[in-house]
């Protein structure tokens, strides 16, 4: 199966702080599946490192209010094009990211407050009919591992 994955979960140093979110279970998927890595924020032109972003009133912003919506959404569009071209059947994305988050995201106040919601990539993938799991759920899907 072809699986789209958040590149930071594979250990790529693409997080806002130039770190990664490596998850062994995600990397292990490569033993049985073909993985397609994307980092929509970097694909849209965001730098490494970069300022944290959250979604407020439907737009991606930095903590000082700088609106970076256009570049992030451009990266999301590029990632969705790849998902379509590669015919991915599943995505495993980083939990709680405003771009890749699956069940919860931060509320746009930069206060560490989580709310129910999804990142823009997840929203786009679900609209395409692609099943999306986050890295934490993957551990409860032994059929994939
Ligand atoms: S945009 Fe997604 S892939 Fe890129 S660092 Fe954030 S969570 Fe990871």
**Separation of alpha carbons 50 and 3, rounded Å:** 27
7 lines ligand 1 (CB under 6 A): yes
67 domain residue, yes or no: yes
143 domain residue, yes or no: no
114 domain residue, yes or no: yes
125 domain residue, yes or no: yes
Ligand 1 binding pocket mutation candidate from 68, 97, 104 (most atoms within 8 A of CB) = 97
Q: Could you tell me if 90 and 133 are in contact, meaning their C-beta atoms sit under 8 angstroms apart?
A: yes
Total of domains in the chain: 1
The predicted pLDDT at position 145 comes to 85
User: pLDDT digits over 77-122, tens only?
Assistant: 999 999 999 999 999 999 999 999 999 999 999 999 999 999 999 9
6 lines ligand 1 (CB under 6 A): yes
145 domain residue, yes or no: no
69 domain residue, yes or no: yes
Global pTM reads 0.97
Ligand 1 binding pocket mutation candidate from 3, 4, 7, 10 (most atoms within 8 A of CB) = 7
123 domain residue, yes or no: yes
3-class secondary structure, 90: strand
- Using a 10 angstrom Cβ sphere, with 0-12 exposed, 13-18 middle and 19 or more buried, the burial of residue 140 is exposed
Q: Residue range 70-76: average pLDDT?
A: 98
Domain with 11 in it: 2-138
């Amino acid at each position: 199966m072809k699986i789209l994955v958040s590149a930071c979960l594979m250990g790529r140093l693409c997080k806002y702080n130039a770190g990664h979110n490596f998850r062994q279970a995600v990397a292990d998927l490569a033993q049985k599946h073909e993985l397609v890595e994307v980092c929509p924020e970097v694909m849209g032109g965001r730098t490494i490192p970069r300022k944290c972003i959250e979604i407020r009133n439907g737009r991606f912003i930095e903590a000082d209010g700088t609106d970076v919506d256009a570049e992030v959404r451009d990266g999301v569009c590029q990632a969705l094009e790849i998902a379509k071209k590669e015919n991915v059947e599943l995505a495993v994305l980083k939990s709680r990211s405003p771009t890749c988050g699956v069940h919860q995201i931060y509320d746009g106040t930069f206060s560490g407050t989580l709310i129910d919601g999804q990142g823009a990539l997840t929203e786009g993938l679900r609209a395409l009919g692609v099943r999306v799991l986050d890295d934490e759920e993957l551990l409860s899907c032994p059929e994939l591992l």
